[in-house]
Amino acid sequence: MGLVTLKEILKIHDGAVGAFSTYDQYSAQGIIEGAEEAGLPVILMIGSGPLNKPGNDYVGQIMVQLAKEASVPVCVFLDHSKDYKTCLKAIKLGFSAVMIDGSHLSLEENIAITNKVTEAAQALGVSVEAELGALAGIEDGEEVKQAKMTDPTHVEEFLGKTDVDGLAVSIGNAHGLYKGEPKLDFERLQTIAGISQDVPLILHGGTGLTLAQFAKGVELGIKKINIGTEVKKTYIEAFINTHEKNVSSYDMVEIPQACKKAVAKMVKENLEFFANGWRKLI
């Protein structure tokens, strides 16, 4: 129990493991409490943007400490780092996995930066996730306008020349809120899964996808599902609703507790569906 790597956590059960974005102590506690209530492993992640804000090394330290004390396996994960330096920072903070996102680079450059990070990370027992193909949408303030679906012919070359513990794919999924109903290219996912073999596939942009889409994705080989926007939405709605019940109290004791509880409930439901519930929809 406690802190485990991405490589280890994705082998615990044969469904997918939820990865949830955190921003502060309360969201991190909510995510871990939800996992403990479900009795399931969880991935606690922070984006490189939020981690690099002044003072937020402390959020990283809290994440690592909470993971060590958890009664379920927890992977502490750096999400979407475009640079080597932030990966090293997370490794020094005690994270058990980092994502190097070279999806905006050429295939050759993506391979090169992925290998540079993997060499440093794996020497210290830290897992690495990479990405091929880019997602549209806004991730913690950074906007990517044009999606670039993962090219299956690139997957074989990329995985042959790297040694990663997970690969994020772009199959019509997007960051932020979907405009209209999201459409996923499952045929593409199936082709990629046939090539990737033992390397776990990762689905980003989970917020707004339907249960049927999650189920199909897990059936075809998705092992990790990222949820960011849903965490923010759940937290901020709980904040506003609790504050509005007694506006004059400005209750800094109970409002964060309500946010934490709301996040825990959302996390528990998602973890249960990704681990087991999906089977009923197949």
201 vs 255, which CB is nearer to Zn ion? 201
Measured distance CA(15)–CA(73) in Å, rounded:
15
Token pair listed for 8: 């280890």
Q: How many CB atoms lie within 10 A of CB 254?
A: 13
Secondary structure class of 216 (helix, strand, coil): helix
- Binding segment (CB under 5 A) for Zn ion, from list 47-55, 112-120, 177-185, 202-210: 202-210
User: What is the nearest approach in angstroms of Zn ion to the Cβ of residue 226?
Assistant: 5
Token pair listed for 173: 């999924």
Segment 226 to 245, residues that bind Zn ion, using CB under 5 A: none
User: What is the nearest approach in angstroms of Zn ion to the Cβ of residue 107?
Assistant: 19
204 vs 224, which CB is nearer to Zn ion? 204
Measured distance CA(77)–CA(48) in Å, rounded:
10
28 vs 78, which CB is nearer to Zn ion? 78
Measured distance CA(31)–CA(41) in Å, rounded:
11
User: What is the nearest approach in angstroms of Zn ion to the Cβ of residue 266?
Assistant: 18
Token pair listed for 109: 């450059």
70 vs 134, which CB is nearer to Zn ion? 134
Q: Is-contact 132 167, C-beta < 8 A? A: yes
User: What is the nearest approach in angstroms of Zn ion to the Cβ of residue 176?
Assistant: 10
Q: Is-contact 17 9, C-beta < 8 A? A: yes
Contact pick of 82, 204, 216, 268 for Zn ion (by CB under 5 A): 204
Q: Does 188 bind Zn ion (CB under 5 A)?
A: no
| Site size with Zn ion, rule: CB under 5 A | 1
Q: Is-contact 84 116, C-beta < 8 A? A: yes
User: What is the nearest approach in angstroms of Zn ion to the Cβ of residue 221?
Assistant: 18
User: What is the nearest approach in angstroms of Zn ion to the Cβ of residue 204?
Assistant: 3
Q: State the virtual CA torsion across 88, 92, 98, 99 in degrees, nearest 10.
A: -30
Find residue 174's DSSP bridge partners: 136
Compute CA 227 distance to the chain's CA centroid, rounded to the nearest angstrom. Answer: 6
CB closest to Zn ion, residue no: 204
- Binding segment (CB under 5 A) for Zn ion, from list 70-78, 203-211, 242-250, 271-279: 203-211
7 vs 204, which CB is nearer to Zn ion? 204
| 140 belongs to the catalytic site | no
Q: Are strands 166-169 and 73-81 parallel, antiparallel or unpaired?
A: unpaired
- Binding segment (CB under 5 A) for Zn ion, from list 150-158, 198-206, 257-265, 266-274: 198-206
Phi, psi (degrees; rounded to nearest 5) at 88: -65, -40
- Binding segment (CB under 5 A) for Zn ion, from list 62-70, 144-152, 196-204, 263-271: 196-204
Catalytic residue among 14, 24, 57, 79: 79
Find residue 47's DSSP bridge partners: 79
- Where does this chain bind Zn ion (CB under 5 A)? 204
Q: Known catalytic residues? A: 79
